[in-house]
Chains A and B, each alone.
Chain A
Amino acid sequence: MKKLSRFYVIALFAFTLSNVVAQNEWEPEFFTTGYVVTQFEYGDIQNFDERDRYALGLSEAAFSASYLPLENLEIKGTFLYRPGVETVESAIVEAYSTWKFSEKFKVGLGRYLTPMSPTNHYFYAPLNNSSTLPLLINHHLLFPQSFDGVKISGETGSSIKFGYTGIVGEYSTVGHSTTDLLEFQGQGEFVASIGAIESVDYRALGMAVRASLNVNDVFKLGANYFFGNSITPFPNADDRSITDQLDSKQSTVGVDVFVELGKLNLRSEYWYGEKHTNKGGADDYAFYNEGFYTEASLNMGKLTPFVKYDYLDDMPQIPINKYTAGVSFRPIFQTLFKAEYGYYAFNTSSSFKEMLTSVDFQDNVNLIILSAVISF
Chain B
Amino acid sequence: MKTLLYIGLFVLVSFAASAQNYQVIVNNSSAVSSITTGDLSKIFLKKSTKWADGSKITPIDLSAKFSIRGDFSKGVHGKSVGAIKSYWQQYVFSGKGTPIVEKKNEAEVLEYVKNNPGSIAYVSSSAAIKGVKVVTIN
Task: Give me the interface of A with B, judged by CB distance under 8 Å.
Answer: 25, 27, 29, 31, 33, 62, 64, 66, 68, 74, 78, 94, 103, 112-113, 115, 121, 123-124, 126-127, 158, 217, 330, 332-334, 375
CB of A333 within 8 A of CB of B98, answer no
CB of A115 within 8 A of CB of B49, answer no
A336 vs chain B, min Cβ distance (A): 8
CB of B82 within 8 A of CB of A332, answer yes
Contact code string B10-48 (vs A, CB < 8 Å = 1, else 0):
000000000000000000000000000000000000011
Task: Give Cα A39 to B89, complex, Å.
Answer: 21
Task: Give Cα A31 to B94, complex, Å.
Answer: 14
Closest residue to A112 on the B side, CB-wise?
B95
Given A25-B115, A25-B116, A333-B82: A31 touches B98 (CB 8 Å cut-off): yes
CB of B93 within 8 A of CB of A31, answer no
- The residue that A66 contacts in the complex, of B86, B92, B115, with Cβ under 8 A, is B92
- The residue that A29 contacts in the complex, of B49, B101, B115, with Cβ under 8 A, is B101
- The residue that B98 contacts in the complex, of A74, A112, A115, A124, with Cβ under 8 A, is A74
CB of A115 within 8 A of CB of B92, answer no
User: Which of B49, B85, B94, B95 has the largest count of A CB atoms less than 10 A from its CB?
Assistant: B95
The answer to whether the Cβ of B75 comes within 8 Å of any Cβ in the partner chain is no
Given A66-B92, A127-B93, A375-B89: A31 touches B49 (CB 8 Å cut-off): no
Task: Give me the interface of B with A, judged by CB distance under 8 Å.
Answer: 47-49, 81-83, 85-86, 88-90, 92-95, 97-99, 101, 115-116
CB of B94 within 8 A of CB of A127, answer yes
CB of A115 within 8 A of CB of B95, answer yes
Task: Give Cα A62 to B89, complex, Å.
Answer: 12
26 example contacts (A-B, Cβ-Cβ < 8 A) are as follows A25-B115, A27-B101, A29-B98, A31-B92, A33-B88, A33-B92, A33-B93, A62-B93, A68-B98, A78-B93, A112-B95, A115-B95, A121-B93, A123-B93, A124-B93, A126-B90, A126-B93, A127-B89, A127-B94, A217-B47, A332-B82, A333-B82, A333-B86, A333-B89, A375-B86, A375-B89
- The residue that B92 contacts in the complex, of A27, A64, A330, with Cβ under 8 A, is A64
User: Which of B90, B98, B115 has the largest count of A CB atoms less than 10 A from its CB?
Assistant: B98
Q: Which residues from chain A contact B99 at a C-beta distance below 8 Å?
A: 31
Q: Which residues from chain B contact A334 at a C-beta distance below 8 Å?
A: 82
Q: Which residues from chain B contact A74 at a C-beta distance below 8 Å?
A: 97-98
CB of B95 within 8 A of CB of A113, answer yes
Task: Give Cα A124 to B49, complex, Å.
Answer: 27
B39 vs chain A, min Cβ distance (A): 12
Task: Give Cα A121 to B96, complex, Å.
Answer: 11
Task: Give Cα A62 to B94, complex, Å.
Answer: 13
Task: Give Cα A333 to B92, complex, Å.
Answer: 15
A347 vs chain B, min Cβ distance (A): 33
Task: Give Cα A112 to B94, complex, Å.
Answer: 11
A154 vs chain B, min Cβ distance (A): 13
Q: Which residues from chain B contact A68 at a C-beta distance below 8 Å?
A: 98
Closest residue to A126 on the B side, CB-wise?
B89
CB of B98 within 8 A of CB of A66, answer yes
Q: A25-B116, A78-B93 are in contact. List 12 more A-B contacts (CB 8 A).
A: A25-B115, A31-B92, A103-B49, A126-B86, A126-B93, A158-B48, A217-B47, A332-B82, A333-B81, A333-B83, A333-B86, A375-B86
Q: Which residues from chain B contact A33 at a C-beta distance below 8 Å?
A: 88-89, 92-93
A332 vs chain B, min Cβ distance (A): 5
Task: Give Cα A325 to B104, complex, Å.
Answer: 42
Closest 7 CB pairs of A and B: A333-B82, A333-B85, A124-B93, A121-B94, A31-B98, A332-B82, A66-B98
Q: Which residues from chain A contact B89 at a C-beta distance below 8 Å?
A: 33, 126-127, 333, 375
Task: Give Cα A27 to B89, complex, Å.
Answer: 21
- The residue that A127 contacts in the complex, of B49, B85, B90, B116, with Cβ under 8 A, is B90
Task: Give Cα A305 to B99, complex, Å.
Answer: 27
B103 vs chain A, min Cβ distance (A): 10
Task: Give Cα A217 to B97, complex, Å.
Answer: 17
A371 vs chain B, min Cβ distance (A): 16
